[in-house]
Structure 1
Amino acid sequence: MLDLPRNRPSWVLKSIAVLLFAFPLASQSMTLTRAGSRLLIDNKPIRLVGYGCYGMVSESSFESETFLNRLTESRINLVRVWVLFHWTNDLTPFEGSRASRYDLLKQNDAFYSRLKNFVGMAEERGIVVQVCLFDGVALTGDNSTNRWPNFPYNTVNNFQDYLTSPGQFNDVPSEWWSEVTGPLIDRVVDELGNFGNLIYEAVNEPDTHGLDTTSPQFDRDVVDRLYDLLHRPDYQGSKIISVNPEAALLREWAISYGKVDLVSYHIKSTDAPQGISDVGKPVLISNDGDTSQRTEAFGGLDPVSRLARIQSMLDNTFPNEEVDGTRHFECLDKGLYGSTWTTDNYDPRYENRNEEIIELLSGYAPIIPERPASQLRLR
């Protein structure tokens, strides 16, 4: 059983982390696998504890290496990033920009290079990256929220005319799927195919934003395409696929569909984790969408209440210190965006990190197994 340091003094935790990463370890394989409802490393249960914001790859000014080093010091071993982050003014998978319009038929090499470098740096540090391909939130909202009006697929932002309204996003098969979306999935897998530290997530919050509300069609098509790519004979990287259902229809499908490995839940109450029963697959619980994701200045909570709320979520996600591999937690901190996250000048900065939240999360993370991070393989 892995040791949990929740009640140890912070200086002890930091000393342990430094010792674990300061010295080279003997070359051994490290494999993260799924066995029913559990994630395992070398046949031992593992717990993923995450921190970050979702546009870190999309802004080239974000100090990724410094950020990942800080997570390593605290044994935080999970980050979540989006491929299509519609608030960005910097990098997307497509050439161009909102101001000058995107060309959906031309892939942006600079974005994919940054994504690949980010995942590589994370793997070197033993950090798993959940890469979310698409976003349901972008299919809603008006100019005040910078969602659909900012989305590259919105025809006013590109040179093509595939989608004039959010409802068309659900049209599969279609010309835009075969010419734009399918190739995007292919390119992500091609770029990241040698990395073992990945969880491929199909769509962020689809069914509460108008997608897959009557059938799991879009999620299923994304999952099927991913599954085929990840199970090619020459493919060597991660094979873990996750789905993020919000309502019963998609949730029941995700739990029963054999190609889905992990189910992600975004909770809006501190006791919500208690209501999540064993679904036969690992579950990842996140505060995405909860008031605890924001600072007080932007409609969230004061520092004390915010920390207490996240701690309550953690306590209910991990009701005891046993690391059984079934439950994992990811903390979205929009404070990393500073004052820019609701504007058209999105600009995350490492200096905006919340050290109190990082230290809190560290207390729920297990001691990292003594294996070289570069050997991490997720399958």
Structure 2
Amino acid sequence: MLTLLKNACLHAPEPRGLCHLLIADGRLAAIVPTDDPDLPAGGPAVDVHDLEGRRVIPGLVDPLVHFIGGGGEGGFGTRTPELALDEALASGVTTLVGALGTDALTRTPANLLGKARELAAGGLTTYCYTGSYQLPPVTLTGSVAGDITFIPEFIGLGEVAISDHRGSQPSREELTRLAAETRTADMLAGKAGIVFIHTGDAPGGLEPLREVARHSAIPLAQFLPTHINRTAELFEDGLRFGREGGRLDFTTSTTPELLTDGEVPAARAVARALEARIDASRITLSTDANASLPRFDAEGRFAGLQPGRLASLFETLGECVTQHGMALDKAIGAASTHAAKALGLARKGRLRVGADADLLVLAEDAWAIDEVWAMGRRVYRA
């Protein structure tokens, strides 16, 4: 069965105008302007949907989801739940990368891989990072290189924590060795080799990554540090890091308490980074969904938490457009295209012939999702 989506106002992310989209075998087989004389025709083997001029954008790509839950930093009663498939399908995120984070004792790489395959069976595209906050990394095969080389879903190392009291306080040598091991394994497996970094608010900020780049052949772009908008100080350090050639990932999940404590809202962070002339292709957004968003007092004691939300990525995309006047293609870049490129996912984050048919159909009169299509199948309809 072929699928024909007629009269789509396409943002691929660049605006393409009114088009017909032909889907075959989960991918885009043709994109034809509606005024083209060679229009695809319907027929008994074609499932036709008329989108009636509604906007169509690429499915969102989230480089950090704790889809088996997180937390526990205030005891077992504070563990956050797993991501539910129904919630994921309605969020607009069609590609998710899972991580362990703080807890690599009661949660394991095997749990993570199993959940990735559960979500994939529901229609989404899922990947994982091997390792966690702490060193040495927890793995399935016994090594970072083994996980990345032999397990298709494992595409990098993360979340390794720096400048955070919950991490292992890694030395420059440890970070360099792990980055080199990841880089080599990903070359062997044809993957991107990203080391995904949790950045805390302790003094030092992103300096550990600069130290690796200064004293080794590992480039700054090997790392994708997240939570760069958590504090005003870290955000300013991030802008310097971006000017030096590094990548910046802003977290969309937040709480009123975090904002009161000085967090820069993610949409504002993207707008300010673009105003600071940071290369747009180095700016990404992630949700930290189903992780704990903890608060600690001045002495580092746990003071409460809320879970991150997968829906916050689409909400932030809307804030970029409606509150900060950002062009839709620029905003889509931060929420989808740039993360796909950084993670080496060539068929994601962009709607073009040969790409996976992951797309969102937006509501006509509000910032909302009418339909989600993943790998050529409609998986959600409002």
Q: TM-score, normalised by structure 1?
A: 0.49
Q: Could you say which structure has the higher helix fraction? A: 1
The answer to which structure, 1 or 2, has the higher relative contact order (CA under 8 A, 6+ apart) is 1
Q: TM-score, normalised by structure 2?
A: 0.49
Q: Could you say which structure has the higher strand fraction? A: 2
